[in-house]
Structure 1
Amino acid sequence: MTIDREGPIPPYQQIAAILRLRISDGSIPVGRRIPSLVELEQEYGVARDTLRKAVKVLKDEGLVETVKGMGVYVIAQPADEG
């Protein structure tokens, strides 16, 4: 997937959406590391600050957590009640 730099959605939100999709479809399963900032930088050609913002969005949503010295990992989501 490519980033639309001319569109109304900021690049960090586009990258967060791509990673969110990879998590939800199982491409990046629970307990696995998301690509590093270096890997994402090479894949999307954006600044690391942009990538940090994208990862922060996912952290704020409770999808990932940082494991010190290891990277950012997908965490289990609580089951929907109802």
Structure 2
Amino acid sequence: MDYGPDDQVRHNAPEPPYRQLAGILAARIARGDWEPGWPIPSESQLIGEYGLARATVRRAVRLVVEEGLAFTVTGRGTYVTEDESKR
């Protein structure tokens, strides 16, 4: 299922909340909400914005990282990956 950058997580949807959030974050990255090399919102910010548990947010962020859209720096945060097509 595709998600838009302005979608909200629906707790009663058939797709798990972490997958919904990962789709929303991917859409926000694609829209350019965060430039390459800039951090995405922290876990705490995402918890507050989407009303999800920390474990759910971590799982969503991990999925975005696995898709190659972002990378994590331990103790610093998660950052948008540079668009390889612009290199």
Tell me if TM exceeds 0.5: yes
Equivalent residue, structure 1, for 2:82: 76
Where structure 1 has 5 or more consecutive residues not aligned to the other structure, the ranges are: none
Offset of residue 12 of structure 1: 0.4
Pairing 1:14–2:20 present? yes
Task: Find the partner of 1:49 among 55, 65, 68.
Answer: 55
Letter in 1 for 2:8: T
TM-score by length of 2: 0.85
Provide, for residues 27-80 of structure 1, a one-character-per-residue CA deviation record: whole Å limited to 9, x for no partner. Answer: 111111010000000001110110011011111111111122211000113229
- 2:28 and 2:50 map into 1 onto residues whose CA distance is 15
* Number of positions where the alignment pairs a residue of Structure 1 with one of Structure 2: 80
Percent of paired sites with the same residue = 43
CA RMSD of aligned residues (A): 1.4
Q: SS state of the match for residue 39, structure 1?
A: helix
Letter in 1 for 2:31: D
Equivalent residue, structure 1, for 2:10: 4
Equivalent residue, structure 2, for 1:34: 40
Runs (4 or more) in structure 1 with deviation over 3 Å come to none
